[in-house]
A and B are shown apart, each in its own frame.
Chain A
């Protein structure tokens, strides 16, 4: 057995030795590429695969694609929304099970559906600050293999039993058990403070913004049509590795029609008094899957002879006070994007691609409606009028979550890798690099948004 030491040299210094207590000049962080496994509807092809299994599969595909075997990556960050407490080191365990060097450090992130994008932004910042040269961001979720907890009654008995010292004490603790304590506690998508499910929350927002059933079905139809076309064009050939027999996202209905979507019965917002418009067709299904993104400093990508698709320009998080209905649960990006664009001196029209995560068709359309609303712009965003509108032909052009499915923490990585590839292919527009906007809403009234730019 040979024992090698770990190289003591840190990130490559391209600038002269920095003086004590000065901040190093930030540098660019780039997206090299990505890899995910096809997303599967829950209870489907990945039913028995754990979060760690799927994250490792996505990671190993990335390693194979970019020749990262035995490579010591600066840091790997990933996460899962539905996570078992035993998976406290989920990402590190996936790294240990992968072909990466076992000396690659890793950490877990959990920010609901924004988890994946937040790992990208956090790691990109570390690269920009020269703390690391390379990084892998990712996310995974399984709605099939979800953790199930014991009831609160049984949990308290088990904990007290562990603390009891004598037999009479133990018997006294056990005597507290009731039959109903044996029923398990399954996770749900309800907001803890309101008891409303995410779909019910969105139904309130959808009604508030007057989004029609037809507009939602149109968006869902476009998502399926665009994703199917992207698969047919081979767009995902270098973004995806097959897993468990799947080569495409199993939720994709290439042959769906507006007529079929129009026949589905509403599932959310049936008790609101307003017309219920949200169906299983214009809402994302529970999904299993994993995604990864390789990030690097330009020097590192060049030294490894790897592509540089796009730069991670900037990101912004926002949160709304949804608990008492001041804003809709999933409306935080409506506030995050104007702040992000103001900081970067951009307007909403200055983008070539818009990737707005389709948690529900109503979410995308409510966000766009808010941006187009004069009063919202004035009273809530502090602008002179409406924030702006987008060219809908540039929205989710290769499909999004309504068609692909939405394994919560894996969605950010899917979008970043796809957008980086689209931007690189587009190259320059009117003498400037092609630009893309990402917007992801998350539970707890949160949202994370980001700007990517072609290289």
Chain B
């Protein structure tokens, strides 16, 4: 395997510029026709010496329901790496349109606690372009290491769907049976999400995607109302799992029906632990308490 030298960025890219570029790119592609080579760029983008802002960290922890400790929550690191991941997807040689991509699932593995005082090197790349019954999906991978070291402490794989985009040479997967029926269990928690939930998470995560900010900005992008950030919901579930997960764990979430704001979300967390044995994993599932539709489900497990 050949090692490709990373593209080193001087600083973390600005998300707002990336969103503007994405809009410009979408317009350009509409006029000129889209890139017809269904290949992903090999490039890796890297930013070195990234440090968390402690004020922002505290605001994030309080919003998510984490205790304001010196350890970066796994979802906070996702937010820290997110602009870099976006910068890979907004490259001209990235074959899918960035705007309107749907976050299908997210998988994070963290081997040890990352403190806010640490300088971090973050790398992002895309891989695994593949078909989906309603479009094309791709994985965006971010790796986090302590500055100047080689050991990956945190790895996040975000799977996005470009809805309605079918690239030549990429087949739809054969249908694998229908969705399993979901019967809501008794909830262990009930979240009341205000209409400003998206704005509040945007303020601490930097993700000002208009579909999360207000009814008007969401409608402009074809949504009925604004929706909660998937990673906000998943991070709250992770916080709810609590201290039992320790410093070394995997955290997987599959997103289903979006959570429109304002709204109520019912959550169930069930713990898998043999009698007298150590904690193995906590499974979580969230649904709309009125309609019973599933919003997301996932697992936090010991590594």
List residues of chain A with CB under 8 Å of any chain B CB: 180, 193-196, 200, 204, 207-208, 271-273, 323-326
Question: From A270, which residue of chain B is reached at the shortest CB distance?
Answer: B289
CB atoms of B269 and A324 under 8 A apart: yes
Question: From B270, which residue of chain A is reached at the shortest CB distance?
Answer: A324
Give the residues in chain A near B65, CB-CB below 8 Å. 193
CB contact between B290 and one of A193, A207, A271 (< 8 Å): that residue:
A271
A299 to chain B, nearest CB (A): 48
The digit string for B280-301, where 1 denotes a CB below 8 A from any CB of A, is: 0010000001100000000000
Question: From A273, which residue of chain B is reached at the shortest CB distance?
Answer: B184
- Pick from B188, B269, B271 the residue with the most CB of A within 10 Å: B188
CB contact between B271 and one of A207, A271, A273, A324 (< 8 Å): that residue:
A324
CB atoms of A193 and B189 under 8 A apart: yes
- B192 sits at the interface (CB 8 A): yes
A20 to chain B, nearest CB (A): 43
CB contact between A195 and one of B190, B196, B269, B271 (< 8 Å): that residue:
B190
A353 to chain B, nearest CB (A): 34
Question: For chain A, what secondary structure do more than half of its interface residues adopt (helix, strand, loop), or is it mixed?
Answer: loop
Give the residues in chain A near B270, CB-CB below 8 Å. 324-325
Bound Cα distance A200, B282 (Å): 23
Task: Please report the total number of B residues contacting A with Cβ < 8 Å.
Answer: 20
The digit string for B244-274, where 1 denotes a CB below 8 A from any CB of A, is: 0000000000000000000000101111000
A274 to chain B, nearest CB (A): 8
Question: From B284, which residue of chain A is reached at the shortest CB distance?
Answer: A324
CB atoms of A208 and B186 under 8 A apart: yes
Q: With A195-B192, A271-B289, A271-B290 in contact, do A323 and B240 touch (Cβ < 8 Å)? A: yes
Bound Cα distance A180, B189 (Å): 26
Query: Which are the 6 A-B pairs with shortest beta-carbon distances?
Result: A194-B189, A325-B188, A324-B269, A195-B190, A271-B289, A324-B188
A367 to chain B, nearest CB (A): 19
In chain B, residues 228-244, which have Cβ atoms closer than 8 Å to a Cβ of chain A? 240, 242
CB atoms of A323 and B188 under 8 A apart: yes
- B187 sits at the interface (CB 8 A): yes
CB atoms of B282 and A324 under 8 A apart: yes
A333 to chain B, nearest CB (A): 21
Question: From A271, which residue of chain B is reached at the shortest CB distance?
Answer: B289
Give the residues in chain B near A273, CB-CB below 8 Å. 184, 186
- Pick from A207, A208, A271, A324 the residue with the most CB of B within 10 Å: A324
Bound Cα distance A208, B289 (Å): 18
Bound Cα distance A323, B191 (Å): 14
Give the residues in chain A near B266, CB-CB below 8 Å. 271
22 A-B residue pairings within 8 Å (CB atoms): A193-B65, A193-B240, A194-B188, A194-B189, A195-B189, A195-B190, A195-B191, A195-B192, A196-B189, A200-B190, A204-B186, A271-B266, A273-B184, A323-B240, A323-B269, A324-B240, A324-B269, A324-B282, A325-B188, A325-B268, A325-B269, A325-B270
Question: From B188, which residue of chain A is reached at the shortest CB distance?
Answer: A325
B222 to chain A, nearest CB (A): 28
